Structures are given as structure tokens and as C-alpha cells.
Amino acid sequence: MSAAPVIAEVSGHLGHLILNRPRAINALTPEMVAILRRSLAEWADDDRVRTVLISGAGERGLCAGGDIRAIHADAVSGGTGSVDFWAEEYRLNATVAGYPKPFVAWMDGLVMGGGIGVSAHASVRLVTERSRLAMPEVGIGMHPDVGGSWLLSHAPGELGTHLALTGSPVGAADGIAAGLADHFVPAGGFAELTRALSERPVEEVVAAFATSAPAGEFATARGWIDACYAGDSVRAIVERLARHPEPGAQAAAKEIATRSPTALTITLRSLRTAAGLPDLRAALDQELRLSAAMLRLPDLAEGIRAQIIDKDRRPRWQPATLDEVSAELIDEIFE
């Protein structure tokens, strides 16, 4: 396969974008975002292209997010390259959401962070038995961006709040239940699906290939999730989860306790605020301001150090508890 980080090819009536960094699970770089934006702009006016498909090279996933090591370098050095990258990435997310032609996302394997941004805003979102969808940013001292605040705040009930505060991945059925995907297609059908999309209308192809997803957890967990995640206080949410008799709720409380208290507080407020914003672009604008502010807070560099650089999985959050998070600081960040 080509060494280009994104392969853009036209076959029949299909414009196919292939993220092509399989060793990095196709993590996004500034060059990849630029290629994606340029290709989409060209195809929007190309009468040959009636449908666009995005997929990832390799067997591991569509996209595991952005270049976290580059963000860490900016966070520790005071650089601004990450803010420039986020601005371009968020513009790409908005382009995907508003694309004038059917945009199909093949959300196979790992689809995390930036991977959600290039797929979950698509008009047709396909998951497989291998799909693992996540917005895990609170685990590295960040917030769900790339339009994640918009997607998760508009999920049914409090499913989005659960996904945002735990950062835990979900499979196909739960991804569909949370509004991050639309249809289940077995992974083995990808090649045939691609050929069909190059020849036939999207609606006809989806009807032919989509089937029922294996059962997920949200069908039975929705009750305790909606009850426990209500409100605007992370501390109250954690307390309700810890007291709940359902093992899944108690496990969620323990998971949230490992996340950055500052990132959790910002994330919950971001979701509640996004729910009242007029559209995705307004949510992306808010996310860019939050991302720029969080780049200068200690938890982002520390979270990436613990998870990616040193891999000791023992972040030292500043502050270390929810009670110590400054309300004044949070207000200032949102202002």
C-alpha cells in the first residue's frame, strides 16, 4: 500500500479515504487532516463522486485519535502547535457533518477521540463486531472534543455522560444506542460493501448489508445510568454510582475516581453547556477554547506522561480530588 498517510482514491462513483498509518492505529497528524480536508473539498464539486467512504488501513481500527506525543511536547514546552492542529481538526469535523454528499464511515476496530471526530459526524455510520468506540480524554487530563461534547450531550438519557466521565469503550450495539453509530455490518463484508457503494445508492447498499448487532449492555443498564448521572455535580454522580447496588454502577464509580478531577469537572460542564448550544459548530468553538486552556493546565502533560510516555498508569493529578478543583478556575476557563 502507498506510503501516503491518507490514500484518496475514486472508484466508480465512490470517493474512498483510507487513513494509512496502521502501526499507529491511524492516529491523525496535521498532514492527514490537511489531505482529508483537501480531498473532501475537491470531491464536493466532482460529479463523478456520489458517495464518500472513510476507513482505516490495517486490522486494528479506523483511528485511535490524534498524535498524543506531539500534544505532550507542546504541553511541557509552552508550544502552540496543538491549538493550530485542533482548529484544523475541528474544521474537518464540521466539514464531515455538513458534507453535501452521503458520507459513510466504516467504524471497524478501535475508534477513539479524533477517530470519533472523523466518523461519528458522518451521515451513515457503520460498526462491526470488532468496533470499540470511546472518548477517553478524561484519562489524560483532557475533555471530549472533536464535537464529542455535542454528540455525547445529545445521546439518549445520560448515556453520553456515562461515556464522557468514564472514558470507557463500547461495542457496536451500545455505540448505536448512544447515537454514535447507525448500523451494524459484519467486518467480513467490507470489500463487497465498498464495491457496492461504488455502483449503487447508499440507501440500497445499507439495506442490503446491515443486520442486527450482538447484544450490548446499555439495554439493561440504562435505568441506573440515567438515575446516577443526572445533575451538574461530578461528586454527586460518583456518590450515587458508589451507593448503587448494580455492580456496573460501582465499577463506573471506581473508573471515574482514576480520572483527572479537573478534566471531569470541565467535561461535565461542557456537556451540559453543549446541550443548549444551537449547533455542532458552536460546540466546536467552545471545545477549542477549552482545549487551548487545558493545554496550559498540569493534568494534560501528566496524563499523557502516565499513559503514553512512561506508561506507569499512575498519574499525579493537580489537584488530586474533586473537592480541591477551583470553581473560580473552571469559571475562568469557560469565560
C-alpha distances (whole Å) from 276 to each of 121, 217, 284, 305 are 18, 28, 13, 34
| Interatomic CA distance for residues 141 and 158, integer angstroms | 22
Other beta carbons within 10 angstroms of residue 258's beta carbon come to 14
**84-87: Cβ within 8 A, 24+ apart:** 84/30, 85/30, 85/33, 86/145, 86/288, 86/291, 86/292, 87/288
Is residue 328 packed enough to be buried (19+ CB in 10 Å), middle (13-18) or exposed (0-12)? exposed
- Catalytic residue (choose from 114, 147, 171, 175): 114
Q: 66 an active-site residue?
A: yes
Query: What nine digits make up the cell of 182?
Result: 447507525
Q: Which helix (H) or strand (E) holds 221?
A: helix 218-228
Q: Which position among 137, 174, 255, 302 bears the catalytic label?
A: 137
Exposed / middle / buried, residue 191 (Cβ in 10 Å: 0-12, 13-18, 19+): exposed
Catalytic: 61?
no
Secondary structure class of 252 (helix, strand, coil): helix
137 is catalytic: yes
Collect all residues with Cβ–Cβ distance below 8 Å to 203 and sequence separation of at least 6: none
Query: Which one from 15, 61, 66, 117 is the annotated catalytic residue?
Result: 66
Phi-psi region of 19 (alpha: psi -120 to 50; beta: other; left: phi over 0): beta
For 147-209, give the DSSP string.
THHHHHHTSSTTHHHHHHHH---B-HHHHHHTTS--EE--GGGHHHHHHHHTTS-HHHHHHHH
**Cell matching residue 13:** 462513483
Residue 209 identity = F
Active site residues: 66, 114, 137, 145
